[in-house]
Structure 1
Amino acid sequence: MSLYTRKTGVTSILKTFSGEDRQRAKAVAANKVRFSTPKEKGLAESVRVAVEEGNFHLVKEFAYFLRESELTDDEVLLIIKDAKRIVHNLTSDFVNIVEALLSLNWKNRSSEIIEAYTEFWIDIMVAHNRYLPVGVSKLIIHWIPGDLDASEWVNGCPSECTRSDLEPIHNVLNRVLTAVPMAFDVVIDAISTKFPYFKKPAHVTAGYLFNVLWLIEYKPIFEELILKLVLQKLLVLDVNAPRDQIDVETNDGNDKSETEEMFHIYNINADNLINARQTVKNPVGKALDICLLMIYKFLDGKCRINQNSSEQESGTANRLFKILLYLFDDVLLPSHNTHHVQFVIFYVTSIRFAYSEAFLNLLWQKVKNPNVSAIIRHSAVGYIASFLARAKFLPLSSVIFYLKELTKWAHTYIDESDEYNQTSSLKANLVFYSVCQAVFYLIAFRATDLTASSKDLLFLQSLQLSRLAMCQLNPLRYCLSPVATAFAGVTRTYQLAYCHTVLERNARRKLATVYGHDKSMPEETVETFFPFDPYLLKISNQYIEDNYMAYQSNETEDNVDRSSENLLSRKRGDSELGEEDDFITTDKRQKHLEMSKSEELDKQFHCGT
């Protein structure tokens, strides 16, 4: 069999084009529609098309590209340089692209990018001030630590890495404020708006406060507005940190010996402010504790003056104290149910005696001024009494001076009430009863110092305490029962007044009257507020405890069971909160006082003849 071969008609699938076919294919490809990416077009070209042709499609695409893409350092640098070159074209029509540029992640980039970005930021704010709110807000938001960044913030102080990341933010803000004066109001509004919610973790609030105080360092003109804002925000923390819960934590905490706690050493000057004493467990109380620690350190650095201080430093300290005194009058004095924030003024006044005098004088002028509302005058009396009783740094002469002034005012009031036959209404005589209670409180609290010598006893006799306690307005009736009982014990011991008959008569008046199913109670006591009651926060207490006076019972008081001595109860509104202060027992004031209770307290706070 022979084999025949022949050429088949099948052509190869890899046939080649002729030169004519190749040219035809290129022409077809060139005529097809192609879409270039925003990256290829670039920012400058996109803006040019929008400006010249009115087509904003490319600008919108580029804004989306900036928000969604992971850009390299080279790409970011190129975009920033393009933006700086066309900054005058970025009018209000390009708000989306500007917001995208201001939102770029730039603070962790190279120094070249940070410098270029800073220059662009300044240029855009100067050229178009309508972008100030957006730009400042984009800067301030970097001040807020993440919820999971607690390890980077120890007691309100950032780690070195975190601080390095924050420096360019503050540098940009500093240059913006220097170049654009109208940015000051915008910055204050942004800081207030971005302030963390009070239930945020403690390191978030403290970290934000760190940046706010940092702003004051390079722009002192913000001192008054910033400190006012900070005090207002801390008041929110204070009223939402239940004092009773903090008190329970303090009493039920670690069962370490008192000696170990007493001699515990704190490194106040350490940069990281790490404290061996654990803070309170309540989350809001913990945030308040750390924030107050930062405020105390800030004020200590600003107001502490020594012999080597310059005239400028002294002037700065005095100016800051005047600001704080004004803020106390404007923010703290009218505030209700605060527990710890008012210790800011307590600490500052401990730095210089002149500050204490100015503080007491402000309060006393409020009390004497009949044009001031009764509530504010009542609050000022509470501050005077509590400050004189608790401030260890005050000389006894200050206590004596204000005791004399308070009793003089009270006697004048009694004379006027006798002349006009004024009734003993609590509402009508609120300031008088507040002043009387302040006198009783001071004498009971500082009895040891005020009865140390015959000269001191002669001074107490000159106050005519018997007339004050037994006048027709009957101030003991509206005074806190523990205060009244302690005062009665001291005055009977030194034969200054005999108040126990009045106390017993008042106790009978306080019995409820029952009408069928209704029960009528007599008038309550004056709503009392001793603002400098024991400080319960643990970390920041290191700035308070050395200047704070705890109650020491008078040695002349007999039959006092020291194991049953408790803190002065505080009352504001309807709250009843006990405190450990070894002064006045934590009964329920005198709402339902019975004769047996009166006799029991009598045994605790006076000595027999």
Structure 2
Amino acid sequence: MEEYLSDNKVAANVRDALQSVARGDADNYDQLVEIMNHSEYLSDDEEAMLVTCLKALSRAVAVIDVDQHEKLLQSIFGMNMWKYRPHVLDALMDFITRLATSDAKYFDSSLQMLVRNFMPAISKSSVKKLNLPCGLAKKDHVLHRVNSTLVNITEIMPLAPRSLSPIISQRMPHISADEALMAVYVENMLRLESSTIGNLVGSEMLISAVVYRLVELVVEIGWDAIVQPEPSKGIFDVDDGFKLVNVKEVISIADKLDSLMVLTCQHLKSCAENGRLSEVFEALVHSFRFTVLNTHKSKFVQFVMFYACSLDPRKCGGQLATTFLNVFTCNSTGNPLITRMSAVSYLASYLSRGKFLDKTIIIDTLRSLLDWCLDYCSEEKTLNPEAHRLFYSGYQAAMYVLCFRMTEMLGDPKIYQFPLQLIFEHSLNPLKVCLPSIVEEFLRQARATSLYMASDKVSNNLLEADFSMACGGMERLDMFFPFDPCLLKKCSETFITPNYLFWSNVVLPYGDEEDFSAEEQIGD
């Protein structure tokens, strides 16, 4: 009872201090502000006083005035939650909830304060502690309370998500921020996505914001930071040929990207375990469609999609293949040529590398792709390779997939119904334009499996690379296979490699000793 009376007395004093400002007597008010302004370590007594005052303020929200009590509000909104113990945080969060829901004037500032505490204040000591046991415990204490408070506010204020979404996006750390700080911010965004607030704010917004930040890091790394394989190596011998340059700045950005990719994949795994993968996958596909797909030669972010599909190969895996195919084949949506060519490159690389994909999905998708190519051939065309880049990209994609998957598909009679020969014997001459190494490997396997019959209609000059360059060259048609091996070590080892088909593991239908020349095979 004594404690109860003491708290009531403090509450009365706090209320009087707030009201005294209007009377021109600010002494007690200034003392209250000072209690909120403690920046150093608090003694037990100081901490107890802070908690008592916060509880008193929660009971006096009605008398707080945005103009008269500006200093007090600034002090509270500026509080660093990462330096307080749980019982202080509980008192602070209760006050913030009551204040934010009492008057629209305090709403945005309350949300800003909560989102700012997604990560600790930037300092060397705070960054070092984040991955220590004490730092991990502190992170859980803070983020749990931040998220719970956001949920409480949004449940009371239905329009809160409209304000919260831009605040979360705007406060995301810059790509130059420390890796640990960026990771803890993204981790909390993903925690929010899994909470009830994810339904209120929208999974699409949160997922898109994370993907966009991943893309920004990819762009910062740049294609020049990737060491290319030896030019003498064929396209099927480069799985170990790509690597990042050993430059400090590049490695630093790659490490950040790797950490964020790991967090995102962990989140997807959790969603799958909780029956939420389909819901999140829709948001992921939408984000991918409008960001990653048009990012020039993205080498990393697409593996988030790859891993998501491995968690549900039939539904998500099939949906992604259909998405790529539709972007490529559907001209009515007004997709630019470069987007459609990018989509079919993604399709080819995905169908080739996804070890988890069912054979039926691969065969049906290839059939649809080849049917589109055959329909294209049936229309009257000028024999100008550059005018038919889309067609050549599509046929090259089909050949590339068959190079990886031909042997495992041989048991299905549908593969022998593919209109492969009808297309490559057409006057558009795709074997002359597509990448020579793909043409040669495709023909070598097709001969070994009797997938086509040699024809005199195909001349021995089909492998002129100049034609391939005319159709987009090394920049687009020749070399862009987005799911070539992932160069991010942590993400690759844990999430990608177990689901990934390397060329060295492809079962080929011919022996190593077999000598083969594409020019000889396709006739004189």
Range into which the TM-score falls when normalised by the shorter chain: 0.7 to 0.9
CA contact (8 A) 2:443 2:518 kept: no
Residue 436 of structure 1 aligns with which residue? 395
Residue 228 of structure 1 aligns with which residue? 208
**CA-CA distance at 1:235 after TM superposition:** 1.4
- Counterpart of 1:329 (choices 289, 300, 312) is 289
* TM-score, normalised via structure 1 length: 0.67
CA contact (8 A) 1:424 1:472 kept: no
- Mean alpha-carbon deviation: is it higher for 335-344 or for 165-174? 165-174
**Pair 1:384 & 2:336 matched:** no
**Pair 1:218 & 2:195 matched:** yes
Q: Based on CA coordinates, which of the two structures has the bigger radius of gyration? A: 1
**Partner secondary structure for residue 532 of structure 1:** coil
**Pair 1:554 & 2:508 matched:** yes
**CA-CA distance at 1:356 after TM superposition:** 1.8
**Residue 554 and residue 500 in structure 1: after superposition, are their counterparts in 2 closer, same or farther (change >3 A)?**
farther
CA offset digits 1:360-388 (Å, max 9, x no partner): 22332333322131333222212221121
Aligned 1:288-327 pairs, distance under 5 A = 288-304=257-273, 314=275, 316-327=276-287
Residue 339 of structure 1 aligns with which residue? 299
Structure 1 residue runs of 5 or longer lacking an equivalent are 1-41, 250-279, 305-312, 511-520, 562-600
Alpha-carbon separation, structure 2, partners of 1:112 and 1:347? 40
**Partner secondary structure for residue 336 of structure 1:** coil
CA contact (8 A) 1:170 1:215 kept: yes
Residue 394 of structure 1 aligns with which residue? 357
**Residue 112 and residue 395 in structure 1: after superposition, are their counterparts in 2 closer, same or farther (change >3 A)?**
closer
- Counterpart of 1:540 (choices 491, 499, 521) is 491
Aligned 1:475-490 pairs, distance under 5 A = 475-490=430-445
CA offset digits 1:246-300 (Å, max 9, x no partner): 6699xxxxxxxxxxxxxxxxxxxxxxxxxxxxxx981111111122112212211
Aligned AA for 2:435? L
**Pair 1:354 & 2:329 matched:** no
**Residue 365 and residue 539 in structure 1: after superposition, are their counterparts in 2 closer, same or farther (change >3 A)?**
same
**CA-CA distance at 1:132 after TM superposition:** 2.1
Aligned 1:400-415 pairs, distance under 5 A = 400-415=363-378
**CA-CA distance at 1:234 after TM superposition:** 1.3
CA offset digits 1:99-129 (Å, max 9, x no partner): 2122235665465544432332122111222
**CA-CA distance at 1:59 after TM superposition:** 6.4
Alpha-carbon separation, structure 2, partners of 1:200 and 1:431? 41
Alpha-carbon separation, structure 2, partners of 1:537 and 1:238? 11
**CA-CA distance at 1:139 after TM superposition:** 1.8
**Residue 298 and residue 476 in structure 1: after superposition, are their counterparts in 2 closer, same or farther (change >3 A)?**
same
Alpha-carbon separation, structure 2, partners of 1:198 and 1:147? 17
- Counterpart of 2:167 (choices 190, 207, 219) is 190
Aligned AA for 2:399? F
Residue 404 of structure 2 aligns with which residue? 445
Alpha-carbon separation, structure 2, partners of 1:556 and 1:157? 58
CA offset digits 1:132-154 (Å, max 9, x no partner): 22222222222224453455444
**Partner secondary structure for residue 294 of structure 2:** coil
**CA-CA distance at 1:340 after TM superposition:** 1.8
CA offset digits 1:7-44 (Å, max 9, x no partner): xxxxxxxxxxxxxxxxxxxxxxxxxxxxxxxxxxx865
CA offset digits 1:212-258 (Å, max 9, x no partner): 12223332314222111111111112232356656699xxxxxxxxx
Aligned AA for 2:295? S
Residue 9 of structure 2 aligns with which residue? none
* TM-score, normalised via structure 2 length: 0.77
Aligned AA for 2:173? P
**Pair 1:363 & 2:324 matched:** yes
Residue 99 of structure 2 aligns with which residue? 124
Alpha-carbon separation, structure 1, partners of 2:132 and 2:514? 42
**Partner secondary structure for residue 285 of structure 2:** helix
Residue 80 of structure 1 aligns with which residue? 54
**Partner secondary structure for residue 489 of structure 2:** coil
Alpha-carbon separation, structure 2, partners of 1:329 and 1:158? 37
Residue 567 of structure 1 aligns with which residue? none
Give the number of equivalent residue pairs: 472
**Residue 398 and residue 121 in structure 1: after superposition, are their counterparts in 2 closer, same or farther (change >3 A)?**
closer
Alpha-carbon separation, structure 1, partners of 2:303 and 2:519? 30
Residue 233 of structure 2 aligns with which residue? none
**Partner secondary structure for residue 117 of structure 2:** helix
**Residue 535 and residue 605 in structure 1: after superposition, are their counterparts in 2 closer, same or farther (change >3 A)?**
farther
Alpha-carbon separation, structure 1, partners of 2:315 and 2:118? 37
CA contact (8 A) 1:237 1:284 kept: yes
CA offset digits 1:513-555 (Å, max 9, x no partner): xxxxxxxx95643714322111121112221112111113735
**Partner secondary structure for residue 460 of structure 2:** helix
**CA-CA distance at 1:78 after TM superposition:** 4.9
Alpha-carbon separation, structure 1, partners of 2:378 and 2:470? 26
CA offset digits 1:553-587 (Å, max 9, x no partner): 735265589xxxxxxxxxxxxxxxxxxxxxxxxxx
CA contact (8 A) 1:63 1:97 kept: yes
Aligned AA for 2:398? V
Between the aligned residues of both structures, percent identity stands at: 22
CA contact (8 A) 1:80 1:116 kept: yes
**Residue 95 and residue 185 in structure 1: after superposition, are their counterparts in 2 closer, same or farther (change >3 A)?**
farther
Alpha-carbon separation, structure 1, partners of 2:51 and 2:519? 78
Residue 527 of structure 1 aligns with which residue? 476
Aligned AA for 1:540? C
Bigger share in helix: 2
- Mean alpha-carbon deviation: is it higher for 60-69 or for 236-245? 60-69
The runs of at least 4 aligned residues of structure 1 exceeding 6 Å deviation read 55-62, 603-609
